[in-house]
Structure 1
Amino acid sequence: MNPARDSALIDQLRAEAAETPWLEFKSNNTDPEMIGKRCSALANSARIEGRDMAYMVWGIEDESHAIIGTDFNPEAKKVGNQALSLWLANSLQPSIAFNFRTVVHPQGRVVLLEIPAATGAPVAFNAVPYIRISSATPRLTDYPERYQQLIERLRPYRWEQGIARQYASGDEVLSLLDYSQYFRLTGQPLPDNRAGIFDKLEADRLIVRDVGERWNITHLGAILFAMRLNDFEASLARKAVRFVAYSGKNRASPVAHRLDGQRGYAVGFEGLIDYVNNLLPKNEHIGAALRADRPLFPSIAVRELVANALIHQDMTITGAGPQIELFEDRLEISNPGATLVLPDRMIDLPPRSRNEALASLMRRMRMCEEQGSGLDKVVQACEVFQLPAPLFRTEGDATQAVLYGPRSFAEMTQDERMRACYFHAVLKFLSGDKMKNASLCVRLGIATKNAAQATAVINRTLDAGLIRVADPDHPRAGYVPHWA
């Protein structure tokens, strides 16, 4: 930790008018049971008060807040044969990342215990949750109104709110984040003074106030607007997008192009999409009068799938980030984390994201489609380009989307034909229509005289349980997805 920040934090805590539900001063009382109960009470109270952190400080007089010093040494303190920190960690449920720090303040030695606010559930000490009321530490269950208030304020951990850089000066914030791009992408005028810039960055939770006129850069701010992700912690730098183009159909083929992203997602997005699209193979398309080259894969599909990989990844999986791989016959886009929606329902169900703030801001910046419409457009574009249906799948702790290059009906596998049939039925249903043999012939490029081939695909898709007859009393009425 930063010694200067710790001293500034001590001064800020001392400036409080009195002890609060999330702050307590001690002289030299180091009773382990007392510390355990206070950890529970302060963590729970901090969440009710809307604080992310609670504190106990030894070596400060309760009434005057004067520094009197302490000889408390948490590292040497034992409870039975166990170190205090280990005993405390085992006694608190659920486990919280508390932190003892010795601070050599100019006015004397103090010990700081930093306690994260409760997140998923009330924090209990030896199976009993406590709460802070004035100077008392009663059981939380004795105050049902406080218990209900705490339950309403508990929230799951949000990676975006974590701290990527702590105790940064204003100059450091402006050098680490591409703030001019933030204003351009969000359509806001650039303020003519630093205070205005910081106010806007703070409003979108890209930065939060720290102590001593300093700032914390959040994970959200860094992952979106970092000038260089390598300027932050290694776990964040590994979230950079990686692109690899192979000269064959598998990963054993020679690497033709490689790009390891360095910039934040927002400031590097357009450049990344342009880079990928420029490397995609081109097909000659004959229009009304002219021949023109168009990308092998629809640009809107590439853009939307890359944005989805950025937005929906599980940021808590370390050592992994989004990856784009271009092969001779397909494009694979993957991200860490299993999808929160079943792969065959990703096109029709509203998306569920682990990173709501990230998703919201990227939509504001028009980097992806409005909520719920993106994958519809991916599948629709593949139909327009007469490509095989895209594949969405979860493998272990990763989600993958695959776009395939052109293949004739004869070249498609049975699974690819059924997937195209299912997605065609979904698109028809979402537009208020029903899939029929004739429409599937058009989708799969089957000549009318060979309509029996489409019928065979429909029958296999029916047997697989992916579609059903829309009206059993009128079989010619068409087909709808199995969930409709």
Structure 2
Amino acid sequence: MDQGELTSLLSALISTWENEVVEFKQAGSDYDTDKIGEYFSALSNEANLRGLERGWLVFGVNNKSRSIVGSDYRREPERLHGLKHQIAQSAEPRSTFRDIHVLDHPDGRVVLFEIPAAPRGIPIAWKGHYYARAGESLTSLGLDKQDAIRQQTIDQDWTAQVVEAASLDDLDATACDRARSAFARKHANRFPSDEVATWPLATLLDRAKVTQSGSITRTALLLLGKPESAYHLSPHPAQMTWKLEGPERAYEHFGPPFLLTTTRLFQRIRNIQLRLMPDDELVPYEVSKYDQVVILEALHNCIAHQDYGRKGRILVTEYPARLTFENEGSFFEGGPDDYVDGTKTPRRYRNPFLVQAMTELNMIDTMGYGIHRMFSEQRKRYFPLPDYAISGDGVCLTIHGGVVDPAYTRLLMENSDLALQDVLALDRVQKKLPIPDAAIAKLRRANLIEGRKPNLHVSATVADATSEKAKYIRTRPFDDQHYEEMIVTFLRKFGQASRKEVNELLWDKLSDALDEIQKDNKIGNLLSHLRKSGRIQNDGSRTAPKWRLID
């Protein structure tokens, strides 16, 4: 909002004065953050109970005279908006201000905190306590109000609702075939695939928990529906949008069936091969800009956890070096940090019927491993880790498709056994984000970071540290000629060698920076080069080679 709109808003709030969804404070240069958190919880819960989209906490207005007196609270913009992160850390479920507005009024500076209503069915707590309002007073959220909020979603799972006007004819045949094969793979230990192939479509969909007793649900239309049948879901847009931003601009919309169109959206992303070449002579590592597993995991999470009641669409924006995924609705239980290490299992879901169907069709799991999988895959590729930004309206996930700091990438290639928590801290260092003092001390002891707080950076000379020398030697490769001469010497002594024997000869001598697939490909390339140069020949078959020297 511009200054004129903020002035009108403030006048309207003052004219109605304080009620259960508006609180005025004079607030000087500082104000207790815990107290702000309590008001955040109270105003958020009260807005929910009254069917409103937001509540307001206003600094710079005298509570007694009802006049604007101004406030010096956190005049530095970075410090003021840093309050969003502080609130998000202790609010449960994770939530924060929709926005923080500053009005430069002639009578003084006014700060307006825009607080989103609590999600349907979920009261907002601050540090484990639920707050409410009784007139102008702050109080605890009584059991009657807690029950009123929690009962909002009883029998109201939007994705489970039956669409009476829809039938099996509204489902896409190709998507149904894909669902059948996905279900058969998921339950191969329960049902033989040839048995699943004989089931009528209605039986398959009921057992996959996509339909209810043969009736078409909103879940069925989302995952398997024909594009032209999406009108059954109106006014809720069943849509994903891919948008290209940069020197070139483009966009494309994707509707149901989401079981198929998530892959089609992924194919629109420009996914070139990148060549990572560290300065310390490690073997070059070729990697795709984006990993398909990571991208589809992100897309499927957006579909599963979207708050369809907000009537929004899923937006995927492609920038030159990153992708962002935006969906409606905050985290339903906990926050992204809770799921990074793969130990937290959610107890509840916003869309339990849809989540169950997507699990049956092997699109997601319900154990909370999805975020952990995305972080692990990015780490294996030596790329920056994903970033989450949460507002009152939704969630934005960023997946990086390039190197942010070469020192970070080189460090991961040299230290494949780093603990995930250390990698998380290093990732924050390369992105110039704050990390706890304990993490700084640990990374400094391991010679993984340099500089003085807040100007920390990933160490570029890790390989020279005494504790890292042995690991550096193990990850440093020899020239190809060295390995080829080992093969030739072996053949000269023993006459012939199978591929298994060549693998046993070289496997432990190849750089530890290579994974098993890369080592296998490396040996295959060495043998191929020796054959093409006329030094060895295969007297066996392609599947069971017998390598000999050429006299």
What range describes the TM-score normalised by the shorter chain of this pair? 0.3 to 0.5
- TM-score, length-scaled by structure 1: 0.48
More helix by share: 2
